[in-house]
Chains A and B, each alone.
Chain A
Amino acid sequence: MSDPLFKVVDLTIGWDETVVQRGATFEIERGSIFAILGSSGCGKSTMLRYLVGLEAPLSGSITIDGLAPDQSVPGRPLFGVMFQSGALLGSLTVGENVALPLQAWTCLPPDAIGGIVAAKLRLVGLEHAEGRMPSELSGGMCKRAGIARAMALEPDLLFLDEPSAGLDPVSAVELDELILSLNQQLGLTFVVVTHDLESIFKISKSCIMLDRESKSIIARGDPRVLRDTSTDPRVHSFFNRTPLEVTS
């Protein structure tokens, strides 16, 4: 087995007084689709912020290919990130948002950039929205535009925060297909935060599940195996959509 792309060792994340997750240790293989699961508010988005280097770990370490991700020094990004809200720049059109990284980090002429932007927007099904402002899009459309922007520079690592939440079933399935084909044909690595069980089972072969109460990782491995074999009631109820009995 090749070395992992991502190594997280004993990572503690949170804000000044509040710890969100403690002692997280996991690895992400190159070329895999890695899912981060858990109930809402358990710290998945926060974990993603640390993985992409937006926050410095309270303790522990994160390395990509042996280097720490660090956004404090600007430079051509090593990976693409789609935030939970899409995070499009409100002052630019959808097309300009996707073009932004291309203009800054390539020396392509404007017509070539235009071609790439149109192609990326077509991939996520937004070819008709290129000239619209983000405020005129629905939540799901903003997310898809965010994915197109994250893919603009052809990164081989993509982080997606709840890509299919808020999408209609057809778009959600198309998005899964897109992720799978990018992964299988181009060998892209994905780190996906998601709640969508169908999509988890379809695309992902390795995952971790975070828990809010114990502030730790409560399960790891292949989600299908976890669904069938896990004895932890929290994991069981997540994968089988059954309510967790409150014990008090």
Chain B
Amino acid sequence: MPPAFGIEQVQTSADQGEIRIHGSLRFAEAAPLWTELRRLETSAARGQTLNFEMSAVQRIDGGAMALLACLRAELQRRGVKSEFVAADAHVQRIIHLYGGDHAVARLKRRRPLGTLDQLGRATISILLEVKLVLAFFGQMVVAGAGVLRSPRSANWRELPATMERSGADAVPVILLINFLVGVAMAFQSAAQLKQFGANILVADLIGISICRELGPLMTAIVVCGRSGAAFAAELGFMQVNEEIDALRTMGFGPMRYLVLPRALALILVVPLLTLLADVAGVLGGLVVGVTSLDLTVRGYLNQTARVVSLWDISSGVIKSMVFAFAVALIACQQGLATSGGAEGVGRRTTSTVVITMFTLILVDAVTTVLFRMAGL
């Protein structure tokens, strides 16, 4: 079927042209219409006139009109004079509806930022984020002190449910991950230790590294992915939905009502999860020791009990409390800083996980060095 419209270009004088359009212009035929007009439109140069002659247009719909108006605006921005002329009354109404007779606003051109500029801005925004987290930490401490003085002023009703969701529900995945970490580490070291006939030392290696480092760290990473992301999304949605503002106007500070209960829940459950993680990791090492290093169950466990001191375990537990606090702090801060709808919630959830992971590793390194320097 041939198109229901026709277009021809007429040069009426040296610097004046017309695009004559006839027939009926429908959005269904937008693609050929656009290509055809584009081809004609490029011929006009600055200072010339190129009008759209519309007298023979019988029908035009909104989509087609939008394309024409867009072309006219583009021509005018290039310095070509362009108007719709000689249109019927009913076509003229559509032209008016789509702004075909309005003055064309100049486009504001944005200069792309240079690399150095972008780098600077990114650095500043990271530093600002750090500052905000620190400020939030301060507010949390102040609110925490207030709650210590009058414990009833915080909202403890959600505490058990939060502990269950962040703690009990995480047990299977924590056990499995740490068991597998124990297995993998034991396998890697088994090959080396066998060469020296020092098979039994695998128990020392696994026991100490799991209790001091990997147990707390892997647990915190899992908690960050599960609960940190959940807190950020929950609070972020509440922020976007004006629920936080509503709470404030009812006299509930979000710190006491939302943040402190969540932080306390994590500080209570993460150390317990870490202890379970230690056990699972040691069991992973035990399985490898027994199956491929000719160790007995009793021998392996005795060796573990002999080398792993109470401090190895308790330093891990102390670390895990710091990790738990860091996860809650960052997740709640990011959640409450959310703006901009569903997309904003997604962005804050992502940044929660990224910032928390980074912070966990940093805190882990710092505490390990500090403990070593203190000779512990």
Contact between chains at A101 and B246 (CB < 8 Å): no
Contact between chains at B251 and A74 (CB < 8 Å): yes
Q: How far is the CA of A54 from the CA of B247 in the complex (A)?
A: 11
Minimum CB–CB distance for A160 against chain B, Å:
12
Is B248 on the interface with A (CB-CB < 8 A)? yes
How many interface contacts (CB-CB < 8 Å) are there between A and B? Answer: 59
- Contact residues, A153-204 vs B (CB, 8 A): none
Q: Which of A49, A54, A77 contacts B250 (CB 8 A)?
A: A77
Contact between chains at A104 and B241 (CB < 8 Å): no
Minimum CB–CB distance for A99 against chain B, Å:
11
The 7 closest A-B CB pairs, nearest first, are A87-B246, A87-B242, A74-B253, A81-B249, A71-B248, A77-B251, A83-B242
- Nearest chain A residue, comparing its CB with the CB of B240: A85
Is A241 on the interface with B (CB-CB < 8 A)? no
Q: How far is the CA of A89 from the CA of B243 in the complex (A)?
A: 6
From B102, B103, B245, B256, residue with most partner A Cβ within 10 Å: B245
Minimum CB–CB distance for B158 against chain A, Å:
8
- Nearest chain B residue, comparing its CB with the CB of A79: B249
Interface residues on B, range: 10 to 19
- B247 to chain A: which residues have CB within 8 Å? 89
- B249 to chain A: which residues have CB within 8 Å? 52, 54, 71, 77, 79-81
- Nearest chain A residue, comparing its CB with the CB of B146: A74
Is B37 on the interface with A (CB-CB < 8 A)? no
Interface size on A, residues (CB 8 A): 28
Q: Which of B241, B252, B256 contacts A87 (CB 8 A)?
A: B241
Is B87 on the interface with A (CB-CB < 8 A)? no
- Nearest chain A residue, comparing its CB with the CB of B161: A91
Minimum CB–CB distance for B58 against chain A, Å:
28
Contact between chains at B252 and A104 (CB < 8 Å): yes
Q: How far is the CA of A146 from the CA of B243 in the complex (A)?
A: 11
Contact between chains at B241 and A85 (CB < 8 Å): yes
Contact between chains at B251 and A101 (CB < 8 Å): yes
Contact between chains at B245 and A83 (CB < 8 Å): yes
Q: How far is the CA of A138 from the CA of B143 in the complex (A)?
A: 36
Contact with B along A221-232 (1 / 0, CB 8 A): 000000000000
- Contact residues, A56-81 vs B (CB, 8 A): 71-77, 79-81
Could you pull out 16 A-B pairs where Cβ atoms are within 8 angstroms? A49-B245, A71-B248, A74-B253, A75-B251, A76-B251, A80-B249, A83-B245, A87-B241, A87-B243, A89-B246, A90-B237, A90-B238, A101-B250, A104-B252, A146-B246, A149-B250
- Nearest chain A residue, comparing its CB with the CB of B250: A101
